[in-house]
Amino acid sequence: MTMIPAAGPNFQPASALDYMPRPELQQLQLHRLQTVIRRLWERVPLYRTRMNERGIAPEDIRSLADIVNLPFTSKTDLRDTYPFGLFASPMEDVVRLHASSGTTGKPIVVSYTQEDLDTWTSVMARAIASCGLHKGDILQNAFGYGLFTGGLGYHYGAEQLGSTVIPVSGGSTDRQIMIMRDFGVTAICCTPSYFLHLLDRGEALGVDFRQLRLRIGMFGAEPWTVAMRRHFEEAAGIKAYDLYGLSEIIGPGVAVECRCQDGLHVIEDHFYPEIVDPDTGEPLPDGEEGELVFTTLSKQAMPLARFRTHDLTALIPGPCPCGRTLRRIRRIGQRSDDMLIIRGVNVFPSQVEAVLLDVEGTLPHYQIVLTREHGLDQMEVQVEVTSRMFSDSLGALEALQKKLAGVMERVLQIRVQVTLVEPRTIQRSEGKARRVIDRRQA
């Protein structure tokens, strides 16, 4: 096989692997796929059982196309084997554990060997480089440090790249703004909802982000819209990039935008992407939207084959003008998990966000409240209005409310009750925003 040196001090620039010729990349992928499938078969009972049931053995993987014969892995499999049932390394080789927040029931636990941590650091260094950071940048890392993979993922990746990292973590918003200004911060990473909160608080404190040295924002861990990107870029005077990842696969660093901001390059030498029909599991051709599925090609402690992400996207056909040979996925505007079914109609919170960012006089702070009256679903959208709008006449507020209700009905195809609320009354998030309150079960 082709020997690819690990990213390290002797390997510059970090993003060189992003430009590998496709035949070489595919050869590397196949070699890694064969190795990882054998590891799963030999070490993880769940995979050996499922492969035996399908009559498939590791030696049956002769080409990358053979991947479709392998069984899927679901989030349920991770819960059912809680906490360590899918580990492929003995505990003495595991040097780190992370876990999902686990809002309902037990969390999902993920593990890393030292080699896995080195891989994670190198893919994050490449991802951060793709957003235009380099040695000399000062990164304010406002992702949470802890069991969540965001904080430490960015931390080691940015350090490897040579940037200065400020491990401020989430929360303490006023102090974040002070640090951003006083330390000459040039880049920030956090959830998009938290950056929205920072911008808002900055405005209240009279700090104009456009006057600061801040030039790059890297956002992830929750879906956000192109309209929100425009808002960030204009209000903060930055370039705003989307980074995609999930803890089951490694954490942040699975796919990332480049300067073209037209889709996210998948770090394909470590994570093999497929798009499948979410209902049938059948593979879909490039360009068609479906569910994103990943196979980890190099993980040691917890490799996963064909993990179903529930994220809806498509593989973009054709090369990217930036020259990277890694294939791209479309920005993930919605997760199938986030989809609300209201009176039989599919609604995504991101559609509401896009409407709000389009209409003058409102802020993209909103909450969706679902109730059931006489067996019928009701959807209320509570929206903050700008201070100027709020001090305006009652007639102007009524007109705005009518306009919003009209646009939402047109976009969402259902009747929506819009309630305008005073500025800064909807609870702010320091991590992932809670956009939906579903009271239909009550």
What are the residues binding Zn ion (CB under 5 A)? 258, 260, 320, 322, 324
Residues 6 or more apart in contact with residue 212 via CB below 8 angstroms: 180, 181, 185
Angstrom CA distances, 300 to 35, 112, 116, stand at: 10, 7, 6
Closest separation in Å from C-beta 265 to Zn ion:
6
Give rounded-to-5 percent helix, strand, coil for the chain. 35, 25, 40
Residues 6 or more apart in contact with residue 333 via CB below 8 angstroms: 223, 225, 348, 350
Cβ proximity to Zn ion: between 259 and 388 the closer is: 259
Cβ proximity to Zn ion: between 306 and 328 the closer is: 328
Give the C-alpha separation, 207 to 185, whole Å: 14
Residue 243 near residue 218, CB atoms below 8 Å: yes
Cβ proximity to Zn ion: between 73 and 313 the closer is: 313
Residue 157 near residue 125, CB atoms below 8 Å: yes
User: What tokens were used for 298?
Assistant: 């190099």
Closest separation in Å from C-beta 332 to Zn ion:
17
Residue 439 near residue 370, CB atoms below 8 Å: yes
Closest separation in Å from C-beta 15 to Zn ion:
10
Beta bridge partners of 316: 328
With tokens 């049932």, the residue in question is: 85
Cβ proximity to Zn ion: between 171 and 317 the closer is: 317
Residues 6 or more apart in contact with residue 144 via CB below 8 angstroms: 150, 151, 169, 170, 430, 431
Cβ proximity to Zn ion: between 77 and 269 the closer is: 269
Residue 420 near residue 387, CB atoms below 8 Å: no
Cβ proximity to Zn ion: between 221 and 322 the closer is: 322
Residue 416 near residue 402, CB atoms below 8 Å: no
Give the C-alpha separation, 231 to 353, whole Å: 12
- Residue 90's CB is within 10 A of a number of other CB atoms, namely 10
Give the C-alpha separation, 387 to 422, whole Å: 8
Closest separation in Å from C-beta 260 to Zn ion:
5
Cβ proximity to Zn ion: between 45 and 321 the closer is: 321
Closest separation in Å from C-beta 21 to Zn ion:
16
Cβ proximity to Zn ion: between 126 and 324 the closer is: 324
Closest separation in Å from C-beta 216 to Zn ion:
16
User: What tokens were used for 98?
Assistant: 């992370």
Nearest to 67 by CA among 78, 52, 51, 80: 51
Closest separation in Å from C-beta 434 to Zn ion:
33
Please name the amino acid found at residue 45: P
Q: Maximum Cα–Cα distance for the chain, whole Å?
A: 73
Sequence-separated contacts (24+) of 397-400 with Cβ below 8 Å: 400/359, 400/361, 400/362
- Residue 402's CB is within 10 A of a number of other CB atoms, namely 11
Cβ proximity to Zn ion: between 218 and 342 the closer is: 218
**Edge-to-edge strand list for the sheet holding 334-335:** 271-276, 290-296, 307-313, 334-335
Cβ proximity to Zn ion: between 328 and 335 the closer is: 328
Closest separation in Å from C-beta 255 to Zn ion:
11
Cβ proximity to Zn ion: between 57 and 260 the closer is: 260
Closest separation in Å from C-beta 125 to Zn ion:
17
Closest separation in Å from C-beta 322 to Zn ion:
3
Cβ proximity to Zn ion: between 205 and 260 the closer is: 260
Residue 418 near residue 404, CB atoms below 8 Å: yes
Closest separation in Å from C-beta 25 to Zn ion:
15
Closest separation in Å from C-beta 77 to Zn ion:
33
